[in-house]
Amino acid sequence: MAQHVTARTPGRSCSLLFALSGLLLDSRLLAARILSTGGRGREGGRTSLVQGQIQELTTQKADPPNDLRKREELDEDRLSALDDQLEELDEKRRSVFADLRLIRKRIRRAAPITGAPGRGEQADAQLSPEPAQETGQGTVPPATSNKASARAAEVESSYATEESGISNTGASSTPTGNQESRRPEVAAPFLPTAQPPTSVGEAYARSRELAQAAAANQAVVHLHQQEAARAAAEEERLEAENKRAEAQARAEAEAQANARRAEEAAEAAQRSRALAEEQARARLAAPQEDPDNAFRQYMREEDGEDEMTNPEYQESAAALSRSTGWQQDTIEGKANDAVRSLTNAIGGKKVVRSLQGMLAGLGR
């Protein structure tokens, strides 16, 4: 373990020494807590051995060589526990770096203007962890992390569809050759610095910054979608209002046309009625050819001439004239002329006088 620590750079050695000292202090506090609570703790599986050794050291009187051996074993157990914790931290760091690489790849593919060739690969290389660790026995490759691999696979699968769509749509607009060399170099939009993170906390801070930037972009997209939805709703509302206005205008025009037709029909009926009344008054005011008009009154009753002034007759006559298109006064005048001609043809006044004489003789 000492060789493993001393093989690192001075900055990392200091950080690891501080981490080891903190973990030793945490282990002592944990052991004291376990002793005070009777062994009830969440990490009982790992610290049960430490608790048993502490109890043996406090309850039994061992000789100095045995005590030293037990202390060495206890130190080895603590170092193994620290190694486990360091491995877990390394796995977390690798997982964070995998997420950062995927996010960086997604940003680079989605950017409308790309940077210089090899810039994304250089940033990924800067963000990648150290390839190997040198110890006293030689170069040792880093341990593979199942958790980091699983996390990387999960993130890759979640971004696969979107990245494929971005790459397909952006393939036609990607510059090549001299066009790409003439493009100005654009810095990474979301990475605050090109230096690789020196700690897990910094890596998490950068991941939070990337997440906040992605959330801001998502909020902008959501805002644009809301504005488009509001514009579509406003357009539909205006279209509905226009349709209602057109329907109302058609209904009003139809109502006005019906009112005009009804008014014209009423005026025509009134004119016909006035004309019929005028004709009736003219016939009544005409001088009688005979002083005795009993026969004429009889003929008027038989011909229905006395009913021409009846309102019902006038309404029916006006309706008939509107439906047939004939003029009422013309038809009635022709009918009167026909009756007069027939009367004159069969004797006219002579027949009337003879009939009157006969009636007078019968009356005597």
Dist. CA 104–CA 209, nearest whole Å: 12
What is the Cα 222 distance to its own chain's centre?
10
Q: What is the mean pLDDT of the chain?
A: 66
For residues 281 and 267, which has the higher predicted lDDT (pLDDT)?
A: 267
Least confident of 157-166, 167-176, 196-205, 289-298: 167-176
- Which of 68-77, 112-121, 299-308, 344-353 is most confident? 68-77
Angle at 360 between CA 286 and CA 362, to 5 degrees: 140
Q: How confident is the model at residue 63 (pLDDT cuts 50, 70, 90)?
A: low
Tell me: the pLDDT tens digits for 311-354? 777 777 777 777 777 676 777 777 767 766 666 666 555 566 66
- pLDDT over threshold 80, residue 153: no
- Asked whether the beta carbons of 87 and 143 are under 8 A apart, the reply is yes
For residues 243 and 195, which has the higher predicted lDDT (pLDDT)?
A: 243
Q: What percent of the chain has pLDDT over 70?
A: 41
- pLDDT over threshold 50, residue 139: no
The mean per-residue pLDDT over the stretch 133-155 comes to: 45
For residues 18 and 242, which has the higher predicted lDDT (pLDDT)?
A: 242
* pLDDT at 26 (0 to 100): 65
- The DSSP code for 197 is P
Domain boundaries, the chain: 1-108+146-166, 246-363
For residues 186 and 364, which has the higher predicted lDDT (pLDDT)?
A: 364
* pLDDT at 345 (0 to 100): 62
- Asked whether the beta carbons of 62 and 94 are under 8 A apart, the reply is no
